[in-house]
A and B are shown apart, each in its own frame.
Chain A
Amino acid sequence: MKKTIKKSTIYSLAAAALFLVFLYWLDANRLSQGMLISVLQKGAILALVATSMNLLNGFTGLFSLGQAGFMSIGAYTTAILIIPVRSLDGVYYMNGVHPAIMNLRLLMANSPPFLQSVYPFIALLLGGALAALIALLVGLAVLRLKSDYLAIATLGLSEIVRAIFSSPQFDQITNGSYGLNKIPNFPPMLFGLIPSLITPFIITGVSVAFIVLLINSSYGRAFKAIREDEIAAEAMGISLYKHKEMSFVISSFFSAVAGGMLAMYMRSIEAKTFSITLTYDILLIVVIGGIGSVTGSVVSAFLVTAAKEWWLRFFDQPLSLFGFQVPLFRTGFRMVIFSVLLMVVVLIYRRGLFGTNEFSWAGLIKRLRLKRPAKKEVE
């Protein structure tokens, strides 16, 4: 028993190291691998949101559709805190910057360079903390609601946040409907030892690891108990309120961190980016990966992003084969394929890619052995 645990740790470390080497290779060839890099980065960001949504929907059984709202809180907070001071006037050219923000930013700009290199991370954390605080307050009220009511209330919450961000009353803070741009790219970590390209992978990796540890802890077991049967869980002495609130707050925190990363990735954001469609896109990832599987969410985030942004691009272009114009291929066809795919998963392959299973080395090895029965089982 002990031996296998050790083995799997070694395998995991080796896989992580290999992936890291691959990322450094990408960084060295970043000019020729633009598409791959952008797909992987976006995949990493969506993997974090999908995992955080899965924590709530798949593990705690709280069907929430507020992800986009929390992402926008993180994105706006991060963007406001990291847009370079010299560009601020240009970004807020219509209405001017709020004096409080300007003063704060000037203060930050005059701090020692050591601090300046960590500001982007502090900004991400602050965005997460703000979202967590809002989730805490809203959760007090909303988490009393049952399944579909909760879904529509969180959806409504997300729309309220969006309305506030795009309202003219907050022009000097969020720049209203013009949105924010000139957001700097990902910051490098550890004094440039980890180049900026790799940063999102590190953040996602650490966050997902945290969520996995949480799910495997006693809190995680309480979440699952609530998912299976609220009343039975309560009878067993699990505080429904405390655990639901905890799951909601943590999920919102990581959604907001991912939102902040999305702002860094896209370089410009507006309230429209965070509409209901974004939540649906993330739900699609979670459902395809399997509701209740972190591995599923992560794998499907990369797969869906790659398919959507890269592999299936050709669906949107007119295509002619052997001088014959293939019908149907034009702008929008790709998304139709995706929606049909989602419906097929929902109706036929209800478990998604992974169901509720998680990846494990032992499982993988077993699979490989089953496929090659000629090999003798060695232990």
Chain B
Amino acid sequence: MSMTTILQHCLTGISLGGAYALIAIGYTLVYGILRLINFAHGDIFMMAGYFMIFSLASFPWPVAILITLVVTTVMGIAIERVAYKPLREAPRMSIMISAIGVSYLLQNLSTYLFTAIPRGYPEIPFLKRIFRVGELSASFVTVLTPVLTIILVMILMALINRTKTGMAMRAVSKDFETAKLMGININGIVSVTFAIGSLLAAVGSILYFTDRMSVTPFSGTLPGLKCFVAAVFGGIGNIPGAVVGGFFIGIVETLLVALGYSTFSDAFTFLLLIVMLLVRPTGLFGEKSVEKV
């Protein structure tokens, strides 16, 4: 393989990784606060793909993007209110089953509404413009994805470290009960968390599907699980960790596909998960927590 090909694949990998990182943040935030693997997150990402298809059919692209972001965010909050909030006091297994149920519902609902036939993702002209640097060629979206990811993460970090809401989020993730006693509006914070997660998933969805051209009701499942692995890899609850994990998985996956092991690229992700959980369960940057009886 020549140097150019390797660089070309790396570029694709970084772009994919950026989209993964944005979705992984949603997992990591929700897990940090509710200790819940939001199995429906991948399906929220998939639904965002459909929202974009339909809004772009009748609006110019800036409006369509705005609509997609808003609708996805509202959907994320609604899911939390309906399916997770009633189970706050229930055992963790019930709320996880509820998350699986939501995922099942979203998949079946979108199969019903949009059929299982892949739907072409509309092209946004300026995102698809091709750039050439030497022998490398890349569409604008490939370059935009990692840059946008980094910018969004920096904004998010500022939000979490500098604002009052961010402080409340940190407090809730440290200790749910105590935060509640300190007068933090738990439900409000959880809603904000889901809103941020869904918003980033929608951005990720636009970037991811622009490169992949089609959406099916099941195209959210695998990316969703992979991004959860990315979040675990980086240390769950840790935002920079999720970003690093997302980029890492994106790049390795692209390289594996390039080497001809495409069927194993999914298996690799899960192998990484199992190895990581055994060797360093807290992830790359996770804090060690002591469990008390």
Contact = CB atoms under 8 A, between A and B. Distances in A.
Interface of A: 57, 61, 63, 141-142, 144-145, 147-149, 151-153, 155-157, 159-160, 163-164, 166-168, 231, 276-277, 280, 283-284, 287, 291, 330-333, 335-336, 338-340, 342-343, 346-347, 350
A346 B225 contact: no
A333 B29 CA distance: 33
A350 B90 contact: yes
A347 B271 contact: no
A159 B266 contact: yes
Interface string B246-259: 00000000000000
B96 A346 contact: no
B167 interface: no
Contact of B101 (A142, A331, A333, A343): A343
Given A156-B229, A346-B97, A347-B87, A148 B92 contact: yes
Interface string B265-283: 0110111011001100100
Contact of A156 (B35, B96, B273): B273
A59 to B, nearest CB: 13
B111 A335 contact: yes
Interface in B24-62: 35-37
Contacts of B183: none
Given A156-B273, A350-B90, A343 B108 contact: no
A340 B264 CA distance: 34
B124 interface: no
The size class of the interface chain B forms with chain A is: 35 or more
Interface of B: 35-37, 82-83, 86-87, 90, 92-94, 96-98, 100-105, 107-109, 111-113, 115-116, 221, 225, 228-229, 232, 263-264, 266-267, 269-271, 273-274, 277-278, 281, 293
Contact of A149 (B104, B113, B281): B281
Contact of B274 (A141, A336, A338, A343): A141
A221 to B, nearest CB: 20
Given A141-B274, A149-B277, A159-B266, A346 B101 contact: yes
A350 B112 contact: no
B267 A163 contact: yes
A276 B293 contact: no
Among the interface residues B96, B107, B263, B264, which one has the most CB atoms of the partner chain A within 10 A? Answer: B263
Given A333-B112, A350-B94, A284 B264 contact: no
A37 B273 CA distance: 42
A342 B101 CA distance: 6
A166 B263 contact: yes
